Amino acid sequence: MSIIRAKNLTRRFGALTAVDRVSFEIKEGEIFCLVGPDGAGKTTTLRMLCSLMDPTEGSAEVAGHDVVKDSDLVRDHLGYMAQKFGLYPDLTVDENMFFYADLYGITGRERDELTARLLRMTRLEPFRTRPAGKLSGGMKQKLALMCSLLHKPRVLFLDEPTNGVDPVSRRDFWAILYSLVRDGLTVFVATAYLDEAERANRVGMMHKGRLIRCDTPATLRNDQDHAYYNIENVAGETAAGHKLRDVLEKQPGVLAVQPTGAFLRLYVDVRRTSAEELSRMTPFTWQRIAPSLEDVFIAMVRHEEQKQEQQRQETPDAA
Protein backbone atom coordinates (compact mmCIF):
# COMPACT_ATOMS: atom_id res chain seq x y z
CA MET A 1 0.00 0.00 0.00
CA SER A 2 1.36 3.42 -1.00
CA ILE A 3 1.38 5.96 1.81
CA ILE A 4 2.92 8.77 -0.29
CA ARG A 5 1.96 9.60 -3.88
CA ALA A 6 3.25 12.44 -6.02
CA LYS A 7 2.03 13.06 -9.58
CA ASN A 8 3.67 15.67 -11.81
CA LEU A 9 4.57 17.66 -8.70
CA THR A 10 5.90 21.06 -9.81
CA ARG A 11 6.99 24.19 -8.02
CA ARG A 12 8.07 27.41 -9.67
CA PHE A 13 9.55 30.55 -8.15
CA GLY A 14 9.07 33.16 -10.85
CA ALA A 15 11.06 32.00 -13.87
CA LEU A 16 12.84 29.29 -11.86
CA THR A 17 11.38 25.78 -11.89
CA ALA A 18 12.68 24.27 -8.63
CA VAL A 19 10.73 20.99 -8.98
CA ASP A 20 9.77 19.82 -12.46
CA ARG A 21 6.93 17.27 -12.89
CA VAL A 22 8.12 14.81 -10.24
CA SER A 23 6.14 11.58 -9.85
CA PHE A 24 6.69 8.66 -7.47
CA GLU A 25 4.97 6.41 -4.93
CA ILE A 26 6.32 5.23 -1.56
CA LYS A 27 5.03 2.14 0.18
CA GLU A 28 4.16 2.05 3.86
CA GLY A 29 7.14 0.88 5.96
CA GLU A 30 9.78 1.93 3.40
CA ILE A 31 12.88 4.05 3.83
CA PHE A 32 12.96 6.26 0.75
CA CYS A 33 15.97 8.48 0.00
CA LEU A 34 15.71 11.47 -2.31
CA VAL A 35 19.30 12.29 -3.26
CA GLY A 36 20.91 15.07 -5.22
CA PRO A 37 23.28 18.03 -4.91
CA ASP A 38 22.38 21.35 -3.29
CA GLY A 39 19.78 23.13 -5.40
CA ALA A 40 18.41 19.92 -6.93
CA GLY A 41 14.92 20.52 -5.48
CA LYS A 42 14.97 17.99 -2.63
CA THR A 43 13.90 20.35 0.16
CA THR A 44 11.22 21.98 -1.99
CA THR A 45 9.77 18.55 -2.79
CA LEU A 46 9.82 17.58 0.88
CA ARG A 47 8.16 20.82 1.96
CA MET A 48 5.34 20.33 -0.56
CA LEU A 49 4.75 16.80 0.74
CA CYS A 50 4.62 18.18 4.30
CA SER A 51 1.96 20.77 3.31
CA LEU A 52 4.41 23.57 4.12
CA MET A 53 4.36 24.83 0.54
CA ASP A 54 1.71 24.52 -2.18
CA PRO A 55 2.70 23.05 -5.55
CA THR A 56 2.39 25.22 -8.64
CA GLU A 57 1.11 22.22 -10.57
CA GLY A 58 0.51 18.54 -9.96
CA SER A 59 -0.72 16.82 -6.82
CA ALA A 60 0.43 14.74 -3.87
CA GLU A 61 -1.12 12.63 -1.12
CA VAL A 62 0.30 11.62 2.25
CA ALA A 63 -1.49 8.98 4.35
CA GLY A 64 -4.45 9.21 1.99
CA HIS A 65 -4.88 12.98 2.30
CA ASP A 66 -4.30 15.66 -0.31
CA VAL A 67 -1.41 17.92 0.73
CA VAL A 68 -3.28 21.07 -0.37
CA LYS A 69 -6.95 20.34 0.39
CA ASP A 70 -6.32 18.39 3.62
CA SER A 71 -3.17 20.05 4.92
CA ASP A 72 -4.18 19.87 8.60
CA LEU A 73 -4.91 16.13 8.33
CA VAL A 74 -1.61 15.58 6.52
CA ARG A 75 0.32 17.27 9.33
CA ASP A 76 -1.43 15.09 11.92
CA HIS A 77 0.15 12.01 10.32
CA LEU A 78 3.69 13.22 9.79
CA GLY A 79 6.81 14.10 11.71
CA TYR A 80 9.16 16.67 10.21
CA MET A 81 12.80 17.31 11.02
CA ALA A 82 14.29 20.34 9.28
CA GLN A 83 17.92 20.83 8.21
CA LYS A 84 18.74 23.22 11.05
CA PHE A 85 18.47 22.41 14.72
CA GLY A 86 15.12 23.96 15.64
CA LEU A 87 14.87 23.21 19.35
CA TYR A 88 15.48 25.50 22.31
CA PRO A 89 19.18 25.58 23.31
CA ASP A 90 18.55 26.92 26.83
CA LEU A 91 16.11 24.12 27.66
CA THR A 92 17.32 20.71 28.77
CA VAL A 93 16.67 17.51 26.83
CA ASP A 94 13.72 16.71 29.10
CA GLU A 95 12.34 20.25 28.94
CA ASN A 96 12.45 20.27 25.12
CA MET A 97 10.64 16.95 24.95
CA PHE A 98 8.00 18.01 27.52
CA PHE A 99 7.42 21.27 25.65
CA TYR A 100 6.75 19.47 22.36
CA ALA A 101 4.65 16.83 24.11
CA ASP A 102 2.47 19.64 25.50
CA LEU A 103 2.06 21.07 21.99
CA TYR A 104 0.77 17.69 20.82
CA GLY A 105 -1.52 17.34 23.84
CA ILE A 106 0.47 14.42 25.26
CA THR A 107 0.52 14.57 29.06
CA GLY A 108 0.80 12.51 32.21
CA ARG A 109 1.68 8.83 32.12
CA GLU A 110 1.55 8.62 28.30
CA ARG A 111 4.13 11.39 28.02
CA ASP A 112 6.42 9.84 30.62
CA GLU A 113 6.29 6.38 29.03
CA LEU A 114 6.82 7.72 25.53
CA THR A 115 9.75 9.99 26.42
CA ALA A 116 11.38 7.19 28.44
CA ARG A 117 11.14 4.82 25.45
CA LEU A 118 12.58 7.39 23.05
CA LEU A 119 15.43 8.22 25.43
CA ARG A 120 16.33 4.52 25.69
CA MET A 121 16.18 4.14 21.92
CA THR A 122 18.51 7.08 21.30
CA ARG A 123 20.73 6.39 24.35
CA LEU A 124 20.25 9.95 25.61
CA GLU A 125 19.09 8.93 29.10
CA PRO A 126 22.34 10.13 30.76
CA PHE A 127 21.88 13.60 29.21
CA ARG A 128 18.30 14.39 30.24
CA THR A 129 19.33 17.44 32.29
CA ARG A 130 21.86 18.83 29.81
CA PRO A 131 20.86 22.01 27.91
CA ALA A 132 20.23 21.25 24.25
CA GLY A 133 22.71 23.93 23.20
CA LYS A 134 25.52 21.99 24.90
CA LEU A 135 24.85 18.70 23.12
CA SER A 136 27.10 17.41 20.35
CA GLY A 137 25.86 17.61 16.75
CA GLY A 138 24.80 13.97 16.74
CA MET A 139 22.97 14.31 20.06
CA LYS A 140 21.12 17.38 18.82
CA GLN A 141 19.89 15.42 15.81
CA LYS A 142 18.71 12.59 18.08
CA LEU A 143 16.84 15.07 20.26
CA ALA A 144 15.20 16.66 17.23
CA LEU A 145 14.25 13.18 16.02
CA MET A 146 12.66 12.33 19.39
CA CYS A 147 10.61 15.53 19.39
CA SER A 148 9.33 14.77 15.86
CA LEU A 149 8.19 11.30 17.00
CA LEU A 150 6.27 12.27 20.14
CA HIS A 151 2.84 12.29 18.44
CA LYS A 152 3.45 8.85 16.86
CA PRO A 153 3.38 9.89 13.18
CA ARG A 154 2.88 7.40 10.34
CA VAL A 155 5.44 9.15 8.11
CA LEU A 156 8.71 10.79 9.14
CA PHE A 157 10.25 13.42 6.84
CA LEU A 158 13.94 14.15 7.41
CA ASP A 159 15.73 16.96 5.56
CA GLU A 160 19.48 16.23 5.45
CA PRO A 161 19.37 14.81 9.00
CA THR A 162 23.05 13.85 9.26
CA ASN A 163 24.61 16.87 7.56
CA GLY A 164 27.77 17.73 9.51
CA VAL A 165 27.36 14.79 11.89
CA ASP A 166 30.34 12.53 12.66
CA PRO A 167 30.39 8.99 11.16
CA VAL A 168 29.68 7.20 14.46
CA SER A 169 26.66 9.38 15.22
CA ARG A 170 25.46 8.95 11.65
CA ARG A 171 25.60 5.17 12.03
CA ASP A 172 23.69 5.38 15.31
CA PHE A 173 21.08 7.62 13.71
CA TRP A 174 20.44 5.10 10.93
CA ALA A 175 20.22 2.25 13.44
CA ILE A 176 17.40 4.19 15.12
CA LEU A 177 15.64 4.68 11.76
CA TYR A 178 15.79 0.93 11.05
CA SER A 179 14.25 0.27 14.46
CA LEU A 180 11.44 2.73 13.73
CA VAL A 181 10.72 1.16 10.34
CA ARG A 182 10.44 -2.28 11.96
CA ASP A 183 7.66 -0.75 14.07
CA GLY A 184 5.81 0.30 10.89
CA LEU A 185 6.98 3.89 10.35
CA THR A 186 7.62 5.16 6.81
CA VAL A 187 10.75 7.33 6.47
CA PHE A 188 11.43 9.89 3.73
CA VAL A 189 15.01 11.20 3.76
CA ALA A 190 16.33 14.05 1.63
CA THR A 191 20.13 13.91 1.51
CA ALA A 192 23.16 14.81 -0.56
CA TYR A 193 25.07 11.76 0.70
CA LEU A 194 25.06 8.92 -1.83
CA ASP A 195 26.51 6.51 0.75
CA GLU A 196 23.43 7.10 2.90
CA ALA A 197 21.17 6.25 -0.02
CA GLU A 198 22.72 2.77 -0.02
CA ARG A 199 20.88 2.17 3.27
CA ALA A 200 17.41 2.91 1.83
CA ASN A 201 14.84 0.53 0.37
CA ARG A 202 14.49 2.77 -2.67
CA VAL A 203 16.32 5.81 -4.00
CA GLY A 204 15.13 8.73 -6.09
CA MET A 205 17.94 10.55 -7.91
CA MET A 206 17.18 14.24 -8.43
CA HIS A 207 18.99 16.78 -10.59
CA LYS A 208 17.96 20.32 -11.48
CA GLY A 209 14.42 19.75 -10.26
CA ARG A 210 13.85 16.53 -12.18
CA LEU A 211 13.67 12.95 -10.92
CA ILE A 212 16.04 11.15 -13.29
CA ARG A 213 15.78 7.64 -11.79
CA CYS A 214 13.92 5.91 -8.98
CA ASP A 215 14.62 2.32 -7.93
CA THR A 216 16.29 0.08 -5.35
CA PRO A 217 20.02 0.64 -4.72
CA ALA A 218 20.82 -2.82 -6.13
CA THR A 219 18.88 -2.18 -9.34
CA LEU A 220 20.49 1.23 -9.79
CA ARG A 221 23.98 -0.24 -9.35
CA ASN A 222 23.14 -2.94 -11.91
CA ASP A 223 23.23 -0.23 -14.57
CA GLN A 224 23.09 -1.81 -18.03
CA ASP A 225 23.30 1.44 -20.01
CA HIS A 226 26.67 2.64 -18.73
CA ALA A 227 30.08 1.08 -18.08
CA TYR A 228 32.55 2.14 -15.40
CA TYR A 229 36.33 1.79 -15.56
CA ASN A 230 39.44 2.67 -13.61
CA ILE A 231 42.23 3.93 -15.84
CA GLU A 232 45.37 2.56 -14.23
CA ASN A 233 48.91 3.93 -13.98
CA VAL A 234 47.74 7.50 -14.59
CA ALA A 235 46.93 9.60 -11.52
CA GLY A 236 44.27 12.19 -12.22
CA GLU A 237 46.22 15.23 -11.03
CA THR A 238 49.43 14.56 -12.99
CA ALA A 239 50.24 16.17 -16.33
CA ALA A 240 49.68 12.83 -18.08
CA GLY A 241 46.37 12.45 -16.28
CA HIS A 242 45.20 15.91 -17.33
CA LYS A 243 46.21 15.28 -20.95
CA LEU A 244 44.46 11.91 -21.15
CA ARG A 245 41.38 13.31 -19.48
CA ASP A 246 41.17 16.18 -21.97
CA VAL A 247 41.43 13.76 -24.90
CA LEU A 248 38.85 11.28 -23.59
CA GLU A 249 36.26 13.87 -22.59
CA LYS A 250 35.98 14.95 -26.24
CA GLN A 251 35.16 11.44 -27.49
CA PRO A 252 31.57 10.45 -28.40
CA GLY A 253 30.00 8.21 -25.79
CA VAL A 254 32.25 9.38 -22.95
CA LEU A 255 30.07 10.76 -20.17
CA ALA A 256 32.75 11.81 -17.68
CA VAL A 257 36.37 11.29 -16.66
CA GLN A 258 36.94 11.96 -12.96
CA PRO A 259 40.15 11.85 -10.90
CA THR A 260 39.79 9.45 -7.98
CA GLY A 261 42.91 8.82 -5.91
CA ALA A 262 45.57 7.05 -7.95
CA PHE A 263 43.21 6.48 -10.89
CA LEU A 264 41.03 8.19 -13.40
CA ARG A 265 37.41 7.00 -13.34
CA LEU A 266 35.92 6.65 -16.82
CA TYR A 267 32.14 6.65 -17.41
CA VAL A 268 30.85 5.66 -20.85
CA ASP A 269 27.57 5.03 -22.65
CA VAL A 270 27.87 1.36 -23.67
CA ARG A 271 25.63 1.93 -26.72
CA ARG A 272 28.25 4.27 -28.19
CA THR A 273 31.71 3.23 -27.02
CA SER A 274 33.83 1.19 -24.60
CA ALA A 275 37.19 1.44 -22.87
CA GLU A 276 38.60 -1.12 -25.30
CA GLU A 277 37.59 0.98 -28.29
CA LEU A 278 38.86 4.21 -26.71
CA SER A 279 42.21 2.65 -25.77
CA ARG A 280 42.85 1.78 -29.41
CA MET A 281 42.66 5.49 -30.21
CA THR A 282 44.77 6.70 -27.29
CA PRO A 283 46.51 3.87 -25.38
CA PHE A 284 45.77 3.40 -21.66
CA THR A 285 45.39 0.52 -19.22
CA TRP A 286 41.91 0.01 -17.82
CA GLN A 287 39.89 -2.23 -15.55
CA ARG A 288 36.11 -2.45 -15.51
CA ILE A 289 34.60 -1.96 -12.03
CA ALA A 290 31.26 -2.40 -10.28
CA PRO A 291 29.81 1.10 -9.74
CA SER A 292 28.81 2.72 -6.47
CA LEU A 293 25.60 4.74 -6.32
CA GLU A 294 27.75 7.85 -6.65
CA ASP A 295 29.18 6.52 -9.91
CA VAL A 296 25.70 5.73 -11.21
CA PHE A 297 24.44 9.18 -10.27
CA ILE A 298 27.34 10.91 -12.06
CA ALA A 299 26.79 8.81 -15.20
CA MET A 300 23.05 9.45 -15.30
CA VAL A 301 23.43 13.19 -14.71
CA ARG A 302 26.03 13.47 -17.49
CA HIS A 303 23.82 11.39 -19.78
CA GLU A 304 20.86 13.71 -19.15
CA GLU A 305 22.99 16.81 -19.73
CA GLN A 306 24.36 15.46 -23.01
CA LYS A 307 20.87 14.50 -24.17
CA GLN A 308 19.50 17.95 -23.36
CA GLU A 309 22.43 19.64 -25.11
CA GLN A 310 21.81 17.51 -28.22
CA GLN A 311 18.12 18.43 -28.18
CA ARG A 312 18.99 22.13 -27.97
CA GLN A 313 21.32 21.81 -30.94
CA GLU A 314 18.69 19.96 -32.98
CA THR A 315 15.87 22.43 -32.18
CA PRO A 316 15.67 25.13 -34.87
CA ASP A 317 16.18 28.68 -33.65
CA ALA A 318 12.78 30.30 -33.04
CA ALA A 319 14.04 33.47 -34.67
Indicate the Cα dihedral angle 262, 268, 270, 274, nearest 10°: -60
Could you tell me the pLDDT band of residue 48, with boundaries at 50, 70 and 90?
very high
Could you tell me the pLDDT band of residue 318, with boundaries at 50, 70 and 90?
very low
* Tens digit of each residue's pLDDT (9 = 90 or more) over 235-269: 656 777 889 999 999 999 999 999 887 889 999 99
Look up residue 56 and give its amino acid. Answer: T
Look up residue 57 and give its amino acid. Answer: E
Contact 65, 4 (CB under 8 A): no
Q: What is the pLDDT of residue 87?
A: 86
Could you tell me the pLDDT band of residue 196, with boundaries at 50, 70 and 90?
confident
CATH of domain 2-216: 3.40.50.300
Spans of all domains in the chain:
2-216, 223-314
d(CA 282, CA 89): 60
Has residue 20 got a pLDDT over 60? Answer: yes
Give burial (CB, 10 Å; 0-12/13-18/19+) of 251: middle
Tell whether pTM > 0.75: yes
Look up residue 233 and give its amino acid. Answer: N
Contact 186, 28 (CB under 8 A): yes
**CA-based radius of gyration for the chain:** 23
Could you tell me the pLDDT band of residue 81, with boundaries at 50, 70 and 90?
very high
CATH of domain 223-314: 3.30.70
* Tens digit of each residue's pLDDT (9 = 90 or more) over 32-45: 999 999 999 999 99
Q: What is the pLDDT of residue 319?
A: 43
